[in-house]
Chain A
Amino acid sequence: MRKRLDSGRAPLEEVAGNGLLHRRALLGGGIALAGAMTAGAAPTRAAAEPLTNPPWSNLPGIVTPVLQTPSRFEKNVVRILSNPKGEPRTQHARAPLQMLDGTITPNPLHFTILHSGIPDIDPAQHRLVVHGMVKRTLEFTVEDLLRYPMVTRKHFVECGGNSAAMFSNVPLQATVQQLHGLASCAEWTGVPLSVILDEAGVDPKAVWIMAEGADDLLVARSVPLKKGYEDALIAFYQNGERLMPGNGYPMRLLLPGFEGNMNIKFLRRLYIIDQPAMTFYETRNYSPLLPDGKAYRFYFVNEVKSFITKPSFGMSLRAPGYYEISGIAYSGTGTITKVLVSADGGKSWGEAAVEGPATPKAFTRFRMPWRWDGQPVTITSRAWDDSGAVQPLRADFVKLRGETKKPVKSPYAFANQHYNSLTLWGIDAKGEIKHVYA
Chain B
Amino acid sequence: MSTLRPLGFALFALTLASSAALAANSPNLGKAVTESDFKAWDITILPDGTGLPPGSGTAAQGAKLFDDKGCSLCHGKDARGGKSNELIGNPSLVEGGINANKTVANFWGQASTLFDYIRRAMPWPTPHTLSDDEVYALCAYLLAGNNIIPQDEPMNAQTLPKVKMPNRNNFIIKFPGRI
Contact = CB atoms under 8 A, between A and B. Distances in A.
Contacts of B74: 88
B27 A129 contact: no
Nearest to B26: A199
Given A224-B179, A269-B41, A297-B173, A139 B124 contact: no
Contacts of A145: 29
A88 B84 contact: yes
Contact of A144 (B30, B38, B99): B30
Nearest to B104: A284
Contacts of A275: 46-48
Interface residues of B, number: 56
Interface in A149-165: 149
A210 B113 CA distance: 13
A299 interface: yes
B171 A147 contact: no
A402 B97 contact: yes
A404 B47 CA distance: 32
A296 B171 contact: yes
Interface centre among A212, A276, A278, A296 (most CB of B within 10 A): A278
B46 to A, nearest CB: 6
A279 B113 contact: yes
Contacts of A219: 121
B81 interface: no
Contact of B34 (A137, A195, A276): A137
Interface in B80-116: 83-84, 92-94, 97-100, 102, 107-110, 112-113, 116
A144 B26 CA distance: 11
A298 B179 contact: yes
Contact of A136 (B32, B94, B108, B117): B32
Contacts of A227: 178
B59 to A, nearest CB: 21
Interface in A177-203: 195-196, 198-201
A408 B98 CA distance: 12
Interface centre among B83, B97, B107 (most CB of A within 10 A): B97
A277 B43 CA distance: 11
A87 interface: yes
A224 B175 CA distance: 11
B125 interface: yes
B175 A295 contact: no
A167 B41 CA distance: 39
A207 B179 contact: yes
Given A89-B84, A217-B121, A289-B98, A300 B175 contact: yes
Interface in B32-68: 32-35, 37-38, 41-48
Interface in A351-394: none
B98 A199 contact: no
B125 A116 contact: yes
Given A88-B84, A278-B110, A139 B30 contact: yes
Interface string B105-146: 001111011001100110011011000000000000000000
Nearest to A148: B27
B124 A295 contact: no
A277 B116 contact: yes
Contacts of B112: 278
Contact of A198 (B26, B44, B172): B26
B170 interface: yes
B33 A291 contact: no
A312 interface: no
B3 interface: no
B2 interface: no
B25 A289 contact: no
A2 interface: no
A226 B33 CA distance: 25
Nearest to B29: A144
Nearest to A217: B121
Contacts of B172: 290, 294-297
B33 A129 contact: yes
Contacts of B22: 199
Contacts of B125: 88, 116, 216
Contacts of A278: 46-47, 109-110, 112-113
Given A116-B125, A148-B27, A269-B41, A137 B32 contact: yes
Contact of B178 (A198, A294, A300): A300
Given A138-B33, A139-B38, A293 B170 contact: yes
B17 interface: no
Given A131-B38, A275-B46, A289 B30 contact: no
A268 B38 CA distance: 11
A21 B175 CA distance: 39
Interface centre among A147, A294, A408 (most CB of B within 10 A): A294
Contacts of A88: 74, 83-84, 124-125
29 contacts: A88-B84, A138-B30, A139-B31, A139-B38, A140-B30, A149-B27, A195-B25, A216-B128, A217-B121, A275-B48, A278-B46, A278-B47, A279-B113, A279-B116, A280-B116, A285-B102, A289-B98, A289-B99, A291-B98, A293-B92, A293-B94, A295-B170, A296-B172, A297-B172, A297-B173, A298-B178, A298-B179, A408-B99, A415-B99
Interface of A: 87-89, 116, 129-131, 136-140, 144-145, 147-149, 167, 195-196, 198-201, 207-208, 210, 212, 216-220, 224, 226-227, 268-269, 271, 273, 275-280, 283-285, 287-301, 401-405, 408, 413-416
Of all A-B residue pairs in the complex, the 3 with the closest CB atoms, nearest first, are A138-B30, A198-B23, A415-B99
